[in-house]
Structure 1
Amino acid sequence: MAGWTVESPRRLTVDGPVTRLDVRLVSGRLNVVAAEGPTRIDVTQVGRRPVLIDNADGRLTIRQERGHGWSDLLRWFRMIHRYPRVDVSIAVSADVLADLGLVAGSLVVSGLRRQTRVHVTAGQITLMGLRGNTTAHITSGPVEALGVRGDLTLETVSGEVILADSAADRVRAQTVSGAITCDLDNPRGSEIRLTTISGGITVRVRADSDLAVQLNTASGRITSGFPQLRSSTFPVRNSEGVIGAGNGKLWASATSGSIALLARAVDHDGEELP
């Protein structure tokens, strides 16, 4: 077992394979990227609470301590915006199982291909090129996923959800207050479920997609670039139908907000048009 207490900027190389990565930081920036070679940790900024690093049996844990008890917890939440920021970057194997948490700040993950779980209380999440099973939750702030495949779950209480260049097998995106914007690569065989209570939903798919579509909103408009969808207004505004062979599924629901389904043009050879 190896351990470090980092109180000033420092670079570390971890001996041996790392199969699991657990990170819990308070305020600042966390970057995790898939890379070949040994696991490397670069701490470029440290607040008044040191960064504690432990490595045992292939499990790498990086954390900051905080107070215990309700009084300490309430004081911690009131003072979170005043905490000196930490800045941690981690290069790790693409096959690592990652569980990443940040209270306030920016979290970026790229290139991992197994299971990735991300939780941020207030800030921003960016996911790039992930595979496998990915789950991201943020209470206040946006979450953005670019080029993600596999199973993808995105949740935010107050913030925008953005999904681009995605060919995920299963997508679940949900926000209480915020918009959802999706630009899907080619969702044949995919299952896509989008839900927002207060906010609009915009989805763009290829014109030659194969999707069974159901769109509904209690208070808002539905617009579609696919004439094969049928619309009704009772008891709620609804639009549904089949695009192509209908192998995939797209379900979008907004309580207070509009829904737009856009068609991305392709030529006769299936290439996207500019």
Structure 2
Amino acid sequence: MTGWTVDAPQRLTLDGPVTRLDVHPLGGRLNVVATDGPARVDVTRVGRRPVLVEHRDGRLSVRQQRRRWWSEFVWWMGPLSRLTRADVSVAVPADVLADLELVEGSLVASGLCGRTRAEVTAGRITLMGLRGPTSARTTSGPVEALGVSGDLDLETVSGEVTLADSAAGQVRAGTVSGAITCDLDNPRRSDIRLSTISGGITVRVREDSDLAVRLHTTSGRITSGFAQVRGSAAPGAVVDSEGVLGAGEGKLWASATSGSIALLARPVDNQEEELP
């Protein structure tokens, strides 16, 4: 095992393979990117608690030592949290299994194609160009997924979910309090399920999509850019719209308890390649 205690800005270049990545700093900024070269860890800012880096049997671990749970809670809620934040960038092979966790701050992951789990208690998660199975969760803060093609599971308690340029075969996106905005470029036989308790849902799909669509809201309106998706409701009743686009090989289900749902049609560019 090789280990470092980093208490000042430092760049580490690792010898040997990295197949698993575990990153658990307390707060600050965390960037994880795919690289064709050797794995490296770049710490550009360190607070009062050093960053601990370990590399053993293909596993790379980057963390900060935690206090007891009650002390950690007091630390996180108070001004001392600013004194222990760290800014860390990690470059690893694209196919690593990545487990990323941050108490407070921003987390960015890009270019990975293995299984990725990202979790932030309070802050922002941004996912770019991921191609493997991915899950992302926040308690307070937004989640953004851009150009992601792997299966997606996105969840936030208080915050927005934004999904753009996605060709994921399976999408699960949910919020308790927050809006969901999706721009989907889906393969056939896709399965998309979107749900929010307090917030609206806006979803845009290609005009030539093959989807069986069902939209449901308890308190709100449903608008559709597709004549095939229609619905009706009596005053005071729940609102449902459904229909079939194309061959209906995939599924799109969206549900809002308190909020409206908009289904938009995106024109197909002549230069866009046909999806398999």
Aligned to 2:129: 129
Counting only pairs closer than 5 Å after superposition, residues 1-274 of structure 1 correspond to structure 2 as 1-70=1-70, 72-79=71-78, 81-233=81-233, 235-266=237-268, 269=270, 271=272
Moved over 6 A (4+): none
The Cα shift of 1:194 comes to: 0.1
Q: Deviations over 1:8-34 (max 9, x none)?
A: 000001110000000101110000000
Partners in 2 of 1:59 and 1:77 — Cα distance? 28
The Cα shift of 1:125 comes to: 0.4
Which shifted more, 235-244 or 193-202?
235-244
The Cα shift of 1:231 comes to: 0.1
> Does the aligned pair in 2 maintain the 1:187–1:211 contact within 8 Å?
no
Which TM-score applies when normalising by structure 1?
0.95
Q: How many residues align?
A: 270
Question: What percent of counterpart residues are identical?
Answer: 71
| Alignment RMSD (CA, Å) | 1.4
Q: Deviations over 1:242-262 (max 9, x none)?
A: 011101100000000000000
Partners in 1 of 2:175 and 2:195 — Cα distance? 6
Partners in 2 of 1:77 and 1:44 — Cα distance? 21
Partners in 2 of 1:115 and 1:94 — Cα distance? 10
The Cα shift of 1:84 comes to: 4.0
Partners in 2 of 1:81 and 1:61 — Cα distance? 22
SS in structure 1 of the partner of residue 26 of structure 2: strand
Q: Deviations over 1:197-246 (max 9, x none)?
A: 00000000111111000000000000000011120215410000101110
The Cα shift of 1:186 comes to: 3.2
Which shifted more, 162-171 or 184-193?
184-193
Partners in 1 of 2:10 and 2:31 — Cα distance? 15
SS in structure 1 of the partner of residue 25 of structure 2: strand
SS in structure 2 of the partner of residue 95 of structure 1: coil
The Cα shift of 1:66 comes to: 2.0
Partners in 1 of 2:95 and 2:186 — Cα distance? 25
Which TM-score applies when normalising by structure 2?
0.94
The Cα shift of 1:183 comes to: 0.4
The Cα shift of 1:187 comes to: 4.2
